[in-house]
Amino acid sequence: MNRTMRHGTMWTIIFSLVSLAWIFPMVLVLMNSFKKKAFISTETFALPNSQTSAGLTNYTDGVRKVDFFQSFGWSLVVTLGAVALILVCTAMCAWWVVRVNTIVAKAIYMLFLLNMIVPFQMVMYPLSKLADSTGLNTPWGLWLVYLGFGAGMPVFIFTGVVKSIPQEIEEAAMIDGAGTVRTFFTIVVPMMRPSIISVAILETMWIWNDYLLPYLTLDMQRFKTIPIAIQYLRGGYGSVDMGAMMACLVLAIIPIIIFYMVAQKYIIQGIAAGAVKG
């Protein structure tokens, strides 16, 4: 028993140190967001004091220079729309693949798995041209782009979840008069809830922080998400307003941290549910 406790204590210390290593960069950004620009590079690891502190100046300058709240709004539109579309389409697709269970359904499932291993660099250029020529260079057009790139992992997880749901429950609902759509949304979706929330968290964190896809597809004259807007704090000849940039980064990560803390308990539960049957 004592040996088990010692091992538990040792692993607790190790993982605590690892977690501190992961948290430290965020703490560093937070500290430097309150410093004057001249002291960020010279006293990077020091806490702000009366000499180095800039107060809220970096935050007000950053919000003003990049029109932060407009970019925040576009990031919100892109993230909410894309995540909702991914969840609905991939959950229905996974249910169809499992229940139909034909050669065609299996082939489609394999294509979704292939989607997870194809390098994004292979399609960067044609994607940019396609988005411009088909009108997908808008926030709502970007929903379809994210659906294409983000469908593989959700279909994989949801397929495992559906396989663990007894088909007799769905048959009983249909005998009672429920149609296909009603059966899916009233019977299947509630039983998939932990996995749906888990996928929603992962997809939200990816889309909210994504820089490359919006940069390649969106019309920069009209739409800028937060990661793109922050890049505009880089001036000519390599100059960067580091104070304003770090302040904007702090403002950008606050919503996603809050969302993750509220819903993170579902991640392990949802992924474990998706791994019950493969």
Distances (CA, A) of 115 to 106, 123, 146, 199: 14, 12, 12, 16
What's the rounded mean pLDDT across residues 7-21? 82
- pLDDT of amino acid 277: 45
Distances (CA, A) of 176 to 71, 170, 172, 182, 187: 49, 10, 6, 11, 12
Length of the chain equals 278
211-259 residue pLDDT tens: 988 988 888 888 899 998 888 877 655 577 788 888 998 999 888 888 8
| C-beta neighbour count of 98 within 10 angstroms | 20
- pLDDT of amino acid 176: 81
What's the rounded mean pLDDT across residues 182-192? 88
Longest C-alpha distance within the chain, in Å?
75
**Token output for 39:** 């002291």
**Token output for 14:** 């190790």
CB 264 within 8 A of CB 81: no
Per-chain mean pLDDT for the chain? 85
What's the rounded mean pLDDT across residues 35-44? 83
Cα distance between residue 150 and residue 84, in whole Å: 12
- pLDDT of amino acid 4: 66
Task: Note the pTM of the prediction, 2 decimals.
Answer: 0.85
Query: pLDDT higher for 146 or 259?
Result: 146
Q: Is the predicted pLDDT of residue 69 greater than 60, yes or no?
A: yes
Name, of 21-30, 86-95, 160-169, the range with top average pLDDT.
86-95
What's the rounded mean pLDDT across residues 98-112? 90
Cα distance between residue 5 and residue 36, in whole Å: 47
CB 261 within 8 A of CB 149: no
Q: In 3D, which of 218, 230, 260 has the Cα closest to residue 71? A: 230
Cα distance between residue 229 and residue 111, in whole Å: 35
**Token output for 161:** 């979840």
Confidence grade of residue 61 (pLDDT, cut at 50, 70, 90):
confident
Out of 3.40.50.300, 1.20.120.1200, 3.20.20.70, 1.10.3720.10, select the CATH number for domain 56-274.
Answer: 1.10.3720.10
The residue assigned the tokens 């359904």 is 105
Least confident of 59-63, 132-136, 250-254, 263-267: 263-267
| Domain ranges, ordered by start, for the chain | 56-274
Confidence grade of residue 278 (pLDDT, cut at 50, 70, 90):
very low
With a CB cutoff of 8 Å and minimum separation 6, the contacts of 90 are 151, 154, 155, 158, 199
Percent of the chain with pLDDT over 90: 19
Q: In a 3-state reduction of DSSP, which class is residue 118?
A: coil
**Token output for 151:** 């469908």
